[in-house]
Structure 1
Amino acid sequence: MKHGQRITFTGEADQPPGVEPGDIVFLLQEKEHEMFQRDGNDLRMTYKVGLLEALCGLQFTFKHLDAHQIVVKYPPGKVIEPGCIHVVQGDLPQYHNPFEKGDIYIKFDVQFPENNWIDTDKLSELEDLLPPRPEVPNVIGETEEVELQEFDSTRGSGGSQRSEAYNNSSDEESSSHHGPGVQCAHQ
């Protein structure tokens, strides 16, 4: 059932002799749930998995709204990508329509390990197990080698301005075929 939906029991209110009884009307108010969000006749949830589960298969259990347990299995060898969505089909009954069922959509939040979680000598073993890195292209001419730094959006020296400039684009720029923020100058 949905938020704001009414259930009416016709003629079930006070019934004194000689008076026509009224109706009892229940107005449903949907309560937020810690795991599920309603989306029409379906439910959505987010489930956190570790990198091992994302790469090597998983099995987990969660409690449905009516308290029955659902066991979810995902086979080894199939990779769960961060942010991907999978579905448990036909597991949510609909009011006055017992043959139609809603689905449960599960969005996976893949949790990566913290920095320096493994000894450096073990990294080569891990690298041997994973698909190979892309080849580094040969660079001809002058080059500059740099190291990536973590971005701190709270840093005061123009960091927030840079992120605003990076994230903002005008409608004019986004509809242009020249790319965002590119202007041509004639000499």
Structure 2
Amino acid sequence: MNRRPTTVEEILTIEVKPEWKKGTKITFPEKGNEQRSVIPSDLVFIFYEKPHSVFKRDGNDLIVTQKVPLVEALTGYTVQLTILDRRNLTIPVNSVISPTYEEVVKGEGMHIPKEPSKRGNLRIKFNIKFPSKLTTKQKTDLKRLIPSS
């Protein structure tokens, strides 16, 4: 008897969890191609992260960079941010923001895989916008207001 191969369709569902990282593997045992007298192979999916337009991931931490004018970097700045779960955060930064300063908001990063009730941190970095030019008076006023160390 001549047996032709038959096609069998099966729907497999993967519930993607937000804490999964690049390289996470999901295996469906024996769901791969079948051949006569051979155990079907496993079907393996490997996850990749699509880059986000605002956030970068570092482990369970989320990193975002904010542009801040120099005057606000020196006098105080409030970060207005919509995070991945669509909540709006208002984060006052009262420290002087230097080019290497980083504000850390605990518990606003990605979920931790083995402890889903815990989250990593949101790390806010700053890109300080310096003025392209200053008048002589502005320079004199700044020298008077900000002592050189």
The normalised TM-score by structure 2 is 0.66
Q: Structure 1 pair 64/127, CA: closer, same or farther in 2 (3 Å)?
A: same
How far apart, in 1, do the equivalents of 2:92 and 2:130 lie? Answer: 20
Q: Which residue of 2 aligns with 1:105?
A: 123
Residue deviations 1:14-60 (CA, integer Å, cap 9, x gap): xxxxxxxxx99754321101121111111222222111111110112
Share of identical aligned residues, percent? 38
Q: Which residue of 1 aligns with 2:148?
A: 133
**Which of the two has greater helix per residue?**
1
How far apart, in 1, do the equivalents of 2:58 and 2:28 lie? Answer: 28
Q: Which residue of 2 aligns with 1:146?
A: none
Q: Relative contact order (C-alpha < 8 Å, sep 6+): which is higher? A: 2
Q: Which residue of 2 aligns with 1:89?
A: 106
Structural RMSD (CA): 2.8
How far apart, in 2, do the equivalents of 1:50 and 1:36 lie? Answer: 21
Q: Which residue of 2 aligns with 1:121?
A: 137
Letter in 2 for 1:100: K
Q: Which residue of 1 aligns with 2:17?
A: none
How far apart, in 1, do the equivalents of 2:62 and 2:102 lie? Answer: 12
Residue deviations 1:108-127 (CA, integer Å, cap 9, x gap): 121111023xx323432332
For the Cα contact (< 8 Å) 1:4–1:28, is it kept in 2?
yes
Runs (4+) off by over 3 Å: 6-10, 23-27
Structure 2 residue ranges without an equivalent (≥5): 1-19, 30-41
How far apart, in 1, do the equivalents of 2:49 and 2:70 lie? Answer: 35
How far apart, in 2, do the equivalents of 1:96 and 1:121 lie? Answer: 59
Alignment coverage as a number of residue pairs? 121
How far apart, in 1, do the equivalents of 2:122 and 2:62 lie? Answer: 5
Q: Structure 1 pair 120/107, CA: closer, same or farther in 2 (3 Å)?
A: same
Give the CA deviation at 1:7: 4.7
How far apart, in 1, do the equivalents of 2:62 and 2:47 lie? Answer: 18
Correspondent of 2:55 among 14, 36, 41: 36
Give the CA deviation at 1:133: 3.2
Structure 1 residue ranges without an equivalent (≥5): 11-22, 135-187
Structure 1 segment 49-60 matched on structure 2, within 5 A: 49-60=68-79
Give the CA deviation at 1:64: 0.9
